[in-house]
Amino acid sequence: MSGNLDGFKVLDLSSVGPASRCSRVLADYGATVIKIGVTSKRSGAQIQPAFFSYGAGRGMKQVRIDLKAAEGRDAFMQLAATADVVIESYRPGVTARLGIDYESLRTKNPKLVYCSTSGYGQDGPYSAWAGHDINYLALGGFLHCSGRTKDGGPALPGATVADSAGGGMHAVIGILAALLGREKTGQGSYLDVSVAEGVLSLMALHIDERLATGASPGPRSSLLTGKYACYDVYPARDGKWLAVGAIEPAFFANLCRGLDLEKWIPQQNDDAVQDEIRRDFRAAFATRDRDTWVSELAAANTCVSPVNSIDELVQDPQFRARGAFVEAKHPDHGSFEQLGPVLAGGTDSAPHTVRDPSVTDSDEVFGDAGFDADRIRALRDQGVLE
């Protein structure tokens, strides 16, 4: 596992969503990520993810603090004084009410990088709106430019694109840039990560086209949204699907030859015949099973690939060869595989033992932050620390 962030301490106040995706990546790069959960008496106030999700706590530590108690807030502030990064995903204004906002923490730790992740940002007319992945994809134009269902409505995406890329990776990039900037200035910074704005970055090609030309991008309106037959999906004889991305003329020519449809090579971008090309492609692909076509075309510079189901991708030889999956062991659920740290440029093949969620690292975490054993014990006795 990559250790480029070894020595950096990250406090993560989230349990799910974009912020948790962010801290997952930071941990995979070697940062010491400490998940700050709520105490048992406030457990209903925080979503607990399924045991297998977000890497099942791989490589992370955990403490539980009652941030609504003055003693809990003070303990968190002292812990934050030793941290490099704080990540939070409360609604705008909540951290200020709790007394753990950036302005409060920077007085004790001027080098702190504080990252707030929220659906719409910390200000603006929508900042107080509740939302989830589908809402941010809708507002940011992603759903409009996606495919359509039978009734003409936007099709739901197959992944939480806004949470993972629009929010989580958006936050990771901002945090890494802020840490690099701190090396020059010696000062931390505040990051206002809006998941909806992260979706805008994903939609930049369409947005810039609209702003520059007045065009109205949407389904089948351009090359990358399916206007041309060379960039589409097609069913094979066995009902499984193939993805074709033969954008470059050379790749399109190879594909046409492989399908015995050389007649279409000169007319790849001829708007008038796209329906005819699609019809012929569909007819050709329907003559053989998907994997037969893949074996013939994928390595022949045609930009053809299988549309894998999740069942298929977890056994795909490419991902297996790259070590994308690692073993985990759970005290109740036994051994299982999970996705490894694929974004970190390498994986740790050692099995990960999933801990009981009630187990915390409070003695170690707060001891490293300067708390003596008596104070930790007293905080536990008060019910503000677990």
At 43 the pLDDT is 66
In this prediction, residue 343 carries a pLDDT of 84
* Predicted local distance difference test score (pLDDT) of residue 36: 96
Q: Please tell me the predicted confidence (pLDDT) of residue 386.
A: 92
Work out the pLDDT band at 45, boundaries 50, 70, 90.
low
With a cut of 80, say whether residue 190 has pLDDT above it: yes
- 25 pLDDT higher than 90: yes
Q: Which residue has the higher pLDDT, 46 or 115?
A: 115
pLDDT tens, 195-221?
A: 999 999 999 999 999 999 999 999 999
pLDDT for residue 347 is more than 60: no
Please state the rounded mean pLDDT for residues 111-126.
Answer: 97
Q: 345: pLDDT confidence band, cut at 50, 70 and 90?
A: low
pLDDT band at 349 (very low <50, low <70, confident <90, very high): low
Q: For residue 373, what pLDDT band results from cuts at 50, 70 and 90?
A: very high
What is the pLDDT averaged over residues 104-130?
Answer: 97
Residue 79 has pLDDT above 90, yes or no: yes
Q: What are the backbone angles phi and psi of residue 233, rounded to the nearest 5°?
A: -120, 145
Check pLDDT > 90 for residue 110: yes
To the nearest whole percent, how much of the chain has pLDDT over 90?
A: 87
Instruction: State the average pLDDT over residues 93-120.
Output: 97
Q: How far apart are CA 153 and CA 146, in angstroms?
A: 10
Instruction: Report how far residue 332's alpha carbon sits from residue 355's, in angstroms, rounded to the nearest whole number.
Output: 10
| pLDDT of 304 over the 70 cut | yes
Confidence check: pLDDT of 346 > 80: no
Cα–Cα distances (Å) from 126 to 121, 123, 130, 141, in that order, read 8, 8, 9, 16
The mean per-residue pLDDT over the stretch 71-83 comes to 96
- The pLDDT of residue 91 is above 70: yes
Residue ranges and CATH numbers for the domains of the chain are 9-201+334-382 (3.40.50.10540), 223-235+241-306 (3.30.1540.10)
Q: Are 45 and 15 contacting, i.e. CB atoms less than 8 angstroms apart?
A: no
Structure-token pair, residue 131: 């939302």
pLDDT in tens, 134-159: 999 999 999 999 989 999 999 999 99
What positions carry a catalytic annotation? 132, 163
Q: Residue range 42-48: average pLDDT?
A: 71
Question: CA torsion sign, 368 to 16 to 45 to 191?
Answer: positive
pLDDT(285) > 90: yes
Which pLDDT score, from 0 to 100, does residue 47 have? 78
pTM: 0.92
Q: What is the pLDDT confidence band of residue 49, given thresholds at 50, 70 and 90?
A: confident
**C-alpha torsion 14→15→18→21, nearest 10:** 110
The span from the CA of 250 to the CA of 293, in Å, is 19
Q: Which residues contact 156 (CB under 8 A, 6 or more apart)?
A: 134
Mean pLDDT across the chain, nearest whole number?
94
Residue 68: per-residue pLDDT: 94
Would you say the C-alpha torsion 278, 282, 284, 290 has a positive or negative sign?
Answer: positive
- Identify which has the larger pLDDT, 152 or 303: 303
Q: Is the pLDDT of residue 78 over 80?
A: yes
The tokens for 192 are 């206002």
Residue 352 pLDDT > 80, yes or no?
yes
- Residue 226: is its pLDDT beyond 70? yes
Q: Is 126 left (phi over 0), alpha (psi -120 to 50) or beta?
A: alpha
Give the pLDDT score at 119: 97
Q: Which residues contact 241 (CB under 8 A, 6 or more apart)?
A: 233, 234, 235, 290, 306, 307
Percent of the chain at pLDDT exceeding 70: 97
